A and B are shown apart, each in its own frame.
Chain A
Amino acid sequence: MSLDKATVRRIAHLARIEVPDSALEPLAQELSGIMGWIEQLREVNTDAVAPMTGGTDMKLAWRKDVQTDGDKPEKVLANAPDRHEAFFAVPKVVE
């Protein structure tokens, strides 16, 4: 399976990664190569194997319902490119 330039442009947009037009073709080739390896994996017969969501032999860790975190707005906001009082500030998004 190979990816064309239009598909790569769309994926880049969905991921909000800026890709110049000149880089689309090389990226398409690179990603198509990765898809090729995935195609190879399909050759393995997995009929008797249940789909997995991870590769570890572990159980999900659970937590008690108690407040153990929060009350640190300054730390939460420390990397914000822009802020107003204790809010993050972003370019206006209105529906």
Chain B
Amino acid sequence: MSYIIKGDTGDWEVVIGLEVHAQVISAAKLFSGASTSFGADPNANVAFVDAAMPGMLPVINETCVEQAVRTGLGLKAKINRRSVFARKNYFYADLPQGYQISQFDQPIVGEGTIVLDMPDGSSRSVGIERLHLEQDAGKSIHDIHPTKSFIDLNRAGVALMEIVSKPDMRSPDEAGAYLKKLRSILRYLGTCDGNMEEGNMRCDANVSVRPVGSNELRTRCEIKNVNSVRFVMQAIEYEAKRHIDVYENGGKIDQETRLYDSAKGETRTMRSKEFAHDYRYFPDPDLLPLEFDEAFVDAIRVKLPELPDEKKDRFMKEYGLSSYDAGVLVAEKENADFFEKVAKLSGDGKLANNWVSNNLFSVLNAKNLTIDQSPISAENLARLIALIKNNTISGRLAKDVFEIMLESGHDPEKIVEERGMKQITDTGAIEKAVDDLLAANPDKVAQIKAGKEALIGWFVGQVMKATQGKANPAMCQELLKKKLAQ
């Protein structure tokens, strides 16, 4: 299902590479002891290093280094035991140093891979080019004062991981799947919370197009700071079409930085900053090379959690789930944990998946709740499944019990007991209901005997109705057939 854009001169494909800035989860900043907590008073989380006071020196935070290595391992990437910090020079009001401490030609993490699970069940590998550590900038607020911008440096100096993909993606869907998968991996690892709305994960998209069948890489444009998966996909779609229009009208694309305007659904040139791309990188003389030994990496490696891909494989093997079902469950670790608890307690992975993925998730989505806020606990859902499995209630009544559980949060055993919802497996009681119905509907009996067997279903329905859904449907069917055959 390749993504082809039909132009006037032929078919085009889009080439996409993504740069993701992921805020590292740590208590203190990358090079200072100021807090990283969100929502503090303006300039409260600022050390003199962050404000670039003369003579202040950066000292690296051990945990930020560990988090970068952990993320690199999670991306199956090469860990560089020696990396170098460099100054990226540019002038902006929320960057008091006049440069960002980043990494240039010697990043902490090298090439790796992310496997995308596409909605059609196929998977696709996307290369990671590199991951490096750098400082975030401060925040500018433009809308309070008519002629002034206000600067809050609380975010200045917070550690970011810039994760750069190879130009391996060929459709907006793949770009979306990449972002979701990367976010999932970061969240499993506990290295970034992946919250795009709060700006803790931001994405720049590099987009170019080329005629289908060509291997050239044409001039790309970089769309900066897009803050949701959906907008990234929309921006790529728009930008690809724009490139094709320009080429087909005989124009050429200039390499430039663009912004996505989500209200208008279009990208536009950033008012080009003079010398914007002249960053004059050079090794930061305030920082020696970042070095660690293999033991440091191993200590992190042995504590890596089970990651989405491995969990998915295990769910397929242990619980007999399809690739698609397992993929849905593992995308969020909390969902996977909830499912696994239900599966273990009920002893039936497939039923657990049906109830969690189909019934519970649709309710949670409708009510806009996370799994942690689920009105039904994993224990109670497992009990409900156990009641179905031991024939205490029919599948149909189980849905009613589920509804009552949603409202009350009660134990399903108690609900079934109190409301007399136990399935009737007593043949005598069902037999009586069947006999009554057959006697009351001789015309339908005649029709069945004349070959219209579909009417048996109508009788089953009537028996269920007569017993308020408590009859075992399989048993009804069997009895009906037996009686009608007489």
Measured CB to CB, the residues of A under 8 A from B are: 10, 13-14, 16, 53-54, 56, 58-73, 75-77, 82, 84-95
Contact between B275 and A65, CB atoms less than 8 A apart: no
Contact between B290 and A60, CB atoms less than 8 A apart: yes
Contact between B152 and A87, CB atoms less than 8 A apart: yes
Partner of B289, one of A16, A53, A68, A90: A53
Q: B21 → chain A, closest Cβ, in Å?
A: 17
Complex Cα spacing A45 to B280, Å: 26
Contact between B270 and A77, CB atoms less than 8 A apart: no
Residue ID in chain A nearest B143 by CB atoms: A94
Contact between B34 and A69, CB atoms less than 8 A apart: yes
Q: A65 → chain B, closest Cβ, in Å?
A: 3
* Chain B residues, Cβ within 8 Å of A67: 27-28, 33-35
Measured CB to CB, the residues of B under 8 A from A are: 26-28, 32-35, 41-49, 51, 59-65, 84, 89, 91-93, 98, 140-142, 144-153, 259, 270-271, 274-275, 278, 280, 283-285, 287-291
Q: B184 → chain A, closest Cβ, in Å?
A: 24
Complex Cα spacing A95 to B142, Å: 10
Complex Cα spacing A85 to B148, Å: 13
19 more CB-based (< 8 A) A-B contacts, given A75-B48, A92-B149: A13-B275, A53-B285, A60-B288, A60-B289, A60-B290, A62-B59, A63-B62, A65-B64, A66-B28, A70-B35, A73-B41, A73-B43, A77-B43, A84-B148, A86-B43, A86-B44, A87-B43, A90-B148, A95-B271
| In the complex with contacts A14-B275, A67-B33, A87-B150, A62-B288 CB distance below 8 A | no
Q: B110 → chain A, closest Cβ, in Å?
A: 18
Complex Cα spacing A82 to B145, Å: 13
Q: B224 → chain A, closest Cβ, in Å?
A: 9
Partner of B288, one of A56, A68, A77, A88: A56
* Chain A residues, Cβ within 8 Å of B274: 13
Chain A facing B: main interface SS: loop
* Chain A residues, Cβ within 8 Å of B28: 63, 65-69
Complex Cα spacing A16 to B287, Å: 24
* Chain A residues, Cβ within 8 Å of B60: 60-63
Contact between B289 and A69, CB atoms less than 8 A apart: no
* Chain B residues, Cβ within 8 Å of A65: 26-28, 61-64
* Chain A residues, Cβ within 8 Å of B27: 65-67
Q: Which of A54, A63, A71 has the most CB of B within 10 A?
A: A63
Q: B203 → chain A, closest Cβ, in Å?
A: 17
| In the complex with contacts A63-B61, A86-B42, A53-B259 CB distance below 8 A | no
Contact between B51 and A76, CB atoms less than 8 A apart: yes
Contact between B149 and A91, CB atoms less than 8 A apart: yes
Complex Cα spacing A77 to B289, Å: 32
Contact between B140 and A93, CB atoms less than 8 A apart: yes
Contact between B34 and A70, CB atoms less than 8 A apart: yes
| In the complex with contacts A65-B28, A70-B33, A76-B153, A53-B84 CB distance below 8 A | yes
Q: B339 → chain A, closest Cβ, in Å?
A: 33
Complex Cα spacing A2 to B291, Å: 38
Q: B166 → chain A, closest Cβ, in Å?
A: 26
Q: B25 → chain A, closest Cβ, in Å?
A: 10
Contact between A91 and B62, CB atoms less than 8 A apart: no
Complex Cα spacing A65 to B26, Å: 7
Contact between B44 and A14, CB atoms less than 8 A apart: no
Residue ID in chain B nearest A86 by CB atoms: B42
Q: B155 → chain A, closest Cβ, in Å?
A: 12
* Chain A residues, Cβ within 8 Å of B275: 10, 13-14
Partner of A54, one of B48, B51, B280, B288: B288
| In the complex with contacts A56-B288, A67-B35, A69-B47, A89-B149 CB distance below 8 A | yes
Contact between B41 and A86, CB atoms less than 8 A apart: yes
Partner of A93, one of B48, B65, B149: B149
Contact between B287 and A60, CB atoms less than 8 A apart: yes
| In the complex with contacts A60-B289, A87-B141, A95-B270, A53-B47 CB distance below 8 A | no
* Chain B residues, Cβ within 8 Å of A93: 92-93, 140, 142, 149
Complex Cα spacing A70 to B289, Å: 27
Complex Cα spacing A88 to B138, Å: 11
Residue ID in chain B nearest A16 by CB atoms: B91
* Chain B residues, Cβ within 8 Å of A58: 288
Complex Cα spacing A88 to B44, Å: 12
* Chain A residues, Cβ within 8 Å of B47: 69-70
Partner of A76, one of B46, B92, B271, B291: B46
Complex Cα spacing A91 to B32, Å: 28
Contact between B63 and A61, CB atoms less than 8 A apart: no
| In the complex with contacts A14-B275, A60-B288, A87-B42 CB distance below 8 A | yes
Q: B198 → chain A, closest Cβ, in Å?
A: 20
| In the complex with contacts A69-B32, A84-B150, A14-B280 CB distance below 8 A | yes
Contact between A14 and B148, CB atoms less than 8 A apart: no
Contact between A71 and B33, CB atoms less than 8 A apart: no
Q: B211 → chain A, closest Cβ, in Å?
A: 34
